[in-house]
Amino acid sequence: MSYNLLKGKKGIIFGALNEQSIAWKVAEQAVEQGAAITLTNTPIAVRMGEVSELGKKLNCEIIPADATSVEDLQEVFRRSMEVLGGQVDFVLHSIGMSPNVRKKRTYDDLDYDMLDKTLDISAVSFHKMIQVAKKMNAIAEYGSIVALSYVAAQRTFFGYNDMADAKALLESIARSFGYIYGREKNVRVNTISQSPTPTTAGSGVKGMDKLMDFANRMSPLGNASADECASYCIVMFSDLTRKVTMQNLFHDGGFSSVGMSLRAMATYQKGLEEYMDTDGNIIYG
Ligand SMILES: NC(=O)c1ccc[n+]([C@@H]2O[C@H](COP(=O)([O-])OP(=O)(O)OC[C@H]3O[C@@H](n4cnc5c(N)ncnc54)[C@H](O)[C@@H]3O)[C@@H](O)[C@H]2O)c1
C-alpha cells in the first residue's frame, strides 16, 4: 500500500540480484512509495542476472559497478545525480559476500586473501560508498544511508564465519561515519540487522534451513521476511526518522532480545505436556 512516504525523493539501491534479494523488495517498495531510483550491481550480475527485468519494470537506470572500486562508485553517484536530477535522498547498501564461506574454509582455517575480499566487499565498500558520496556532495540534507547487517556482529553463530567480522566492521562504520556526516551535513547513517532470510547470499550460510527454523522459534513475532525488511528500510529513508542515526536497528521479530523461548526449547523435549494447564493451554512464564 502506498502512503507516499518517499514522494519526490531520489535514491540509489545497491544489491538487487533476483526477486528474493532484499534490495529487490526495497526497490519495488521505494518506487511504490513515490521515489525515483537508480539500481546498481556488479557488471557480471547486471549482465547475467535478472536485475535488468527490475529496471524495466520500475523504469529506472541500472549502473554496473563493483562496490569495492572507488572509481565505479564515483560513476554511480555521478550518473545517478544526472538521471535523477540532483542530489539523492537515500542509499541502500545491500551487499555481502565471503569467498571463505563459498570455498568452505572454516574460521580456524581462513585464507587471508579471501578474508581481505570478504571485508572489502561486505564492509569497507560501505565506507567507500559514503566517502565518495560525501566528497561529491551527492546526498541531500537529512538524507538517509542504510546498510543491512546480521546479529552475528554481536554474538557468535555457528557457520557465519568471517562474515561475522565483516558485519561488526559494517556496524562500526555506520557509527563512525554517522557522527561525521551527521555533524557536517545532517545525513543519517544506520544499519538494519535482519532475520535470516532465504536469498542467494543467505543460502551460502551453513545450515541455513535449520538456522531459519531456530530463529523463527526463538522470535516472539517470528522471522522477518525480505518484504518486511524492505518496509523498515522505507521508514528509515522517510522523513519520519529524521533524528535516527548511528544505530544498529534490529529487525528480527524480537530474536536478539531472547535468550531461550519455549518454542525453541520444546524442540528438544518429547512433548509440551509439562508446560500445559489442565485444559491443555500452554502456560507461558
Ligand atoms: N539473507 C539473510 O539471511 C540476511 C540476513 C541479514 C542480513 N543480510 C544482508 O542483506 C544484504 C543483502 O543480501 P541478500 O540476502 O538480499 O542476498 P543477495 O544475494 O540477493 O544480495 C547480495 C548482493 O551483493 C551483491 N554483491 C556482491 N559482491 C558485490 C560487489 N563487489 N559489488 C557490488 N555488489 C556486490 C550481489 O551481486 C548481490 O546482489 C547483505 O548485506 C546480507 O549480508 C542478509
User: Does 151 sit in the ligand 1 pocket, CB within 6 Å?
Assistant: no
CATH code for the structural domain at 10-258: 3.40.50.720
Pocket perturbation via mutation, ligand 1, pick of 21, 26, 157, 229 by most ligand atoms within 8 A of CB: 21
User: Is 148 touching ligand 1 by the criterion CB < 6 Å?
Assistant: yes
CB 190 within 8 A of CB 247: yes
Distance of CA 141 from the midpoint of ligand 1 (Å): 27
**Pairing mode of beta strands 62-64, 36-41:** parallel
Q: Is 174 in the pocket of ligand 1 (CB under 6 A)?
A: no
Residue 113 carries which DSSP code?
A: H
Q: What is the pTM of this model?
A: 0.95
Alpha-carbon distance of 212 to 202, in angstroms, equals: 10
For 166-215, write each residue's pLDDT tens digit.
Answer: 999 999 999 999 999 999 999 999 999 999 999 998 888 878 999 999 99
Q: Which candidate, 61, 57, 62, places its Cα nearest to that of 32?
A: 57
Residue-level pLDDT at 186: 98
Over the stretch 83-135, which tens digit does the pLDDT of each residue have?
999 999 999 999 999 999 999 999 999 999 999 999 999 999 999 999 999 99
Q: Does ligand 1 come within 6 angstroms of the Cβ of 68?
A: yes
Distance from Cα 7 to the centre of ligand 1, integer Å? 27
CA of 167 to the centre of ligand 1 (A): 12
b/e per residue, 48-74, with b = 16+ CB within 10 A?
ebebeebbeebebbbbbbbbbeeebbb
Q: How far apart are CA 172 and CA 190, in angstroms?
A: 10
Residues 122-170: tens digit of each pLDDT? 999 999 999 999 999 999 999 999 999 999 999 999 989 999 999 999 9
Q: Domain residues of the chain, as ranges?
A: 10-258
